[in-house]
């Protein structure tokens, strides 16, 4: 009934029931587990937590997860923009197929992507063999991790930027051309600024997803401690050693990174709404 006092009156029924179901499930499925992790952190104490995170192995794992996610998301920022632009603006054979395929990383289980990429880029795999003469080793190196994260993050940039390109007003481009701007100038000075908020949002979403990614990475990474061991894998290792406190410490560090990125995404969206009224 307390909820009723905090909401505007409405003739529709079912607020109590729907709000109750939503809140109950949210609490059991999401809030209680997050509370358990944070509660565990409180029990361990900040000094102890810091001690467990502040080791070379944990730092290099966290740094690797973040660095690889950043590199892959930057790569996706560029190619995602190209892909979104091509899909909206150009008509070519196979466009619809490619448009549908962009969502493959959402639909394909990460473990499947992981073993497929490993089979492709392993020294005896088709791509691995082709790249060996050039001296490029991808599987079991950090490059392999980038590759897996490019796969995972690709749809985020494309699907955030695509609707904004669809909404672009061609009159502005025509005006720019009429005023004597070359096409490259129009693209850089007129179109790109309009797309910036969507690009940033897509980039941040891809980054948030990539930092915590596990399934597609562990097969191709090689998982050498200090070199190609990502932070989520280190949590799994600590759990397998029954070292729950150390696992919780890394988990809290990663959760804080997630919260920070969620805040960043919200900030980008508020900023872009103020700026151009688009998501």
Query: Could you say which residues in the range 169-198 bind another protein, by CB under 8 A?
Result: 170, 173-174, 177-178, 183, 187
CA separation for the pair 233, 190 (Å, rounded): 44
Q: How far is the CB of 71 from another protein (least distance, A)?
A: 15
CA separation for the pair 74, 150 (Å, rounded): 9
CA separation for the pair 46, 115 (Å, rounded): 38
CA separation for the pair 240, 246 (Å, rounded): 11
Q: How far is the CB of 167 from another protein (least distance, A)?
A: 8
CA separation for the pair 217, 279 (Å, rounded): 30
Q: Is 270 in the site for another protein (CB under 8 A)?
A: no
Q: How far is the CB of 163 from another protein (least distance, A)?
A: 5
Q: How far is the CB of 95 from another protein (least distance, A)?
A: 9
User: CA of 185: how far to CAs of 180, 181, 189, 191, 260, in Å?
Assistant: 10, 6, 6, 9, 35
Residues 63, 112, 132, 224: which binds another protein (CB under 8 A)?
A: 112
Nearer to another protein, 31 or 226 (CB): 31
Is there a contact between 251 and 172 (Cβ–Cβ < 8 Å)? Answer: no
Tokens of 190: 């007129």
| Interacting positions 220-259 with another protein (CB under 8 A) | 231-233, 235-236, 239, 242, 244, 247-248, 251, 254-255, 258-259
Among 47-55, 113-121, 131-139, 221-229, the segment contacting another protein (CB under 8 A): 113-121
| Interacting positions 53-72 with another protein (CB under 8 A) | none
Nearer to another protein, 53 or 116 (CB): 116
């Amino acid at each position: 009934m307390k909820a009723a006092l905090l909401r505007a009156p409405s003739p529709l029924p079912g607020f109590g029931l729907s709000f109750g179901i939503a809140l109950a499930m949210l609490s059991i499925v999401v809030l209680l587990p997050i509370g358990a992790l944070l509660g565990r952190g409180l029990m361990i104490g900040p000094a102890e937590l810091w001690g467990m995170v502040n080791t070379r192995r944990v730092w290099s794992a966290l740094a690797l997860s973040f660095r690889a996610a950043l590199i892959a998301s930057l790569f996706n920022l560029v190619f995602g923009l190209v892909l979104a632009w091509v899909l909206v603006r150009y008509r070519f054979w196979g466009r619809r197929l490619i448009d549908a395929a962009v969502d493959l990383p959402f639909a394909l289980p990460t473990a499947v992507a992981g073993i497929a990429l490993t089979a492709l880029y392993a020294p005896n795999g088709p791509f691995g063999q082709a790249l060996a003469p050039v001296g490029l080793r991808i599987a079991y190196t950090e490059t392999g991790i980038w590759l897996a994260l490019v796969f995972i993050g690709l749809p985020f940039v494309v699907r955030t930027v695509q609707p904004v390109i669809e909404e672009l007003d061609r009159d502005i481009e025509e005006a720019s051309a009429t005023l004597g701007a070359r096409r490259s100038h129009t693209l850089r000075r007129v179109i790109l600024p309009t797309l910036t908020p969507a690009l940033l949002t897509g980039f941040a979403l891809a980054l948030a997803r990539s930092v915590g990614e596990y399934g597609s990475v562990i097969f191709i990474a090689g998982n050498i401690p200090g070199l190609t061991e990502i932070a989520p894998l280190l949590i799994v290792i600590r759990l397998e050693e029954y070292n729950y406190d150390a696992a919780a410490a890394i988990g809290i560090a990663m959760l804080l990174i997630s919260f920070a990125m969620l805040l960043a995404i919200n900030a980008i969206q508020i900023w872009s709404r103020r700026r151009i009224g688009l998501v």
